[in-house]
Structure 1
Amino acid sequence: MKSSLLAMHTIIKFRYFLLFICLLSCGDAKTTKTETTKTSQEEAATTRETKDNTILFFGDSLTAGYGIKLEEAFPALIQQRLDSLNLPYTTINSGVSGETTSGGLNRLDWVLRQEPSIFVLELGANDGLRGIPLENTKANLQAIIDAVKAKNPNTKIILAGMQIPPNMGPEYTTEFRKIFPELAKANAIPLIPFLLDKVAGDPNLNLEDGIHPTAEGHQIVMENVWEVLKKVVK
């Protein structure tokens, strides 16, 4: 009886040992696969950045392409335009839905590791919709501009102008709109007068929320951006 129990105990221990080895092997395989994928992505990014100049679109959901496919958002459409003209630039979509100017400033150091040739700054809309003090929004945008210049003085900065509905009152709305041309003039950088020109307020060009452009709307936004960007890339 004791001999049988001992043999059974040994078999159970052996099974647990095999299970441990299997789990360990799976973990190693998963780690190796992850590391390989990461290495491949890094090599591809290095190759791309060596070959091309980089245009980094730094913004919120308008840049990210909220509600549509990534390839339908205006940064991807800009890439198509660049490719059609054989211009050696690679676009990077660094849009984050819900981003404020404060949030953008907080993640800027990591983003600037890309060392972009051109930095398109599209932030502020969420500040305005939330009624954030105008002086805070302006100060954050200025801090972002200063940080980009400090990281690489050769990076060309383009500022995207923004407007908001009059929910916060006419005075706030008017002063908000002035922030962008004032910053562009003070920093001697190109300004996209209004990113959503000919799109904002048109139900046929916006999603049901009335705020975010449809794929068709992004086609127009792309043209608004290109009107200014083309003078910089050429």
Structure 2
Amino acid sequence: MKRIALTLILLLTPLAAWAETRIVVFGDSIAAGFGLPPDQGLVPTLERWLSVRGYDVTLIQAGLSGDTTFGGRVRIKWSVPPDTDAVIIELGANDMLVGFDPDGIKSNLHTIIDSAQGARQRPVLLLGIYALPVRSAPYRQKFDAIWQSIASQQDVLLVPDMIAPFRRLSQPERERRKILQSDRLHPAQAGVELMVEEIGPKVIELIAQTKAQTKAQAKE
């Protein structure tokens, strides 16, 4: 009986390991969960959202508060462990707030995606963010166009504006007090939950891509 039980464990273990998907969430203070308790940031909230829907996923938090696409371009090289299955990239907001050149931002993101994919050609999900009104209209137009351009050129999944739910508020000023922290920039827990609802379906697509790639590589 013990031998049968041990055999079952040995048989099932590889299946369980295969079922789990390891995804690095690489970004700035949003990915890092700035200003929030450890269990309320974007990464743990998204992981719970996926778990409730039956997805066996481990999300690895690789966020750095204040990071820009230039910093990410350097940091990505040592932020993605070899056993990573896919990468979510969330960078660009700080570049926009400082007013960095959109062409430079675009170039940095291309390099980040190339590094994230690596030799294994890992699936990538790019989380975009549209510019805030603090920037001029011409700048906003050029910045907002970055995301779709990159996604098309590099054939990666895209959420064009991860804070789109914030822009759809029926009573913007009143409701922003509930979804933003006191700095009026970083999301509170309620804001994180809105973001997860926005990006969650695309993360499910990312998982599906990862599973399909794993199956294809297993047949080679």
Query: Which bracket does the TM-score occupy, shorter chain normalised?
Result: 0.7 to 0.9
* CA-CA distance at 1:51 after TM superposition: 7.2
Higher helix share: 1
Q: Distance in 1 between matches of 2:120 and 2:26?
A: 16
Q: Report deviation, 1:49.
A: 7.7
Is the CA contact (8 Å cut-off) linking 1:75 and 1:222 kept in structure 2? no
One-letter amino acid matched to 2:47: Q
User: Looking at CA atoms only, which structure, 1 or 2, has the larger radius of gyration?
Assistant: 1
**What's the offset of the Cα at 1:208?**
1.6
Query: Which residue in the other structure is 1:197 paired with?
Result: 164
TM-score w.r.t. length of structure 1: 0.74
> For 1:139, which of 84, 101, 107 is the aligned residue?
107
TM-score (norm 2): 0.78
- Shifted more, 100-109 versus 203-212: the winner is 203-212
* Structure 1 gap ranges (5+): 1-47
Partners of 1:118 and 1:53 in 2: CA distance: 8
Task: Give the match for residue 116 of structure 1.
Answer: 84
Name the Cα RMSD after superposition.
1.9
- In structure 1, what is the equivalent of residue 197 of structure 2? 223
Q: For 2:42 and 2:108, how far apart are their aligned partners in 1?
A: 24
Report the Cα distance in structure 1 between the residues aligned to 2:178 and 2:57, rounded to whole angstroms: 32
Preserved CA contact (<8 Å) 2:165 2:198: no
**Structure 2 runs not aligned, ≥5 long:** 1-15, 209-220
CA–CA distance in 1 between the matches of 2:127 and 2:118? 20
Q: Residue deviations 1:179-204, cap 9 Å, x none?
A: 01110111111111211111256232
Q: 1:57 aligns with which of 15, 19, 25?
A: 25
1:173 and 2:170 are equivalent in the alignment: no
Aligned residues between the structures? 186
- Distance in 1 (CA, whole Å) between partners of 2:83 and 2:106 is 24
Q: Distance in 2 between matches of 1:151 and 1:123?
A: 22
Higher relative contact order (CA 8 A, sep 6+): 2
What percentage of residue pairs aligned between the two structures are identical? 26
Residue number in structure 1 paired with 2:98:
130
The CA deviation at 1:50 is: 7.7
Letter in 1 for 2:118: A
Instruction: Provide, for residues 120-165 of structure 1, a one-character-per-residue CA deviation record: whole Å limited to 9, x for no partner.
Output: 1100110010011111100000001111223421x11001111122
Q: 1:143 and 1:106 mapped to 2: Cα distance?
A: 9
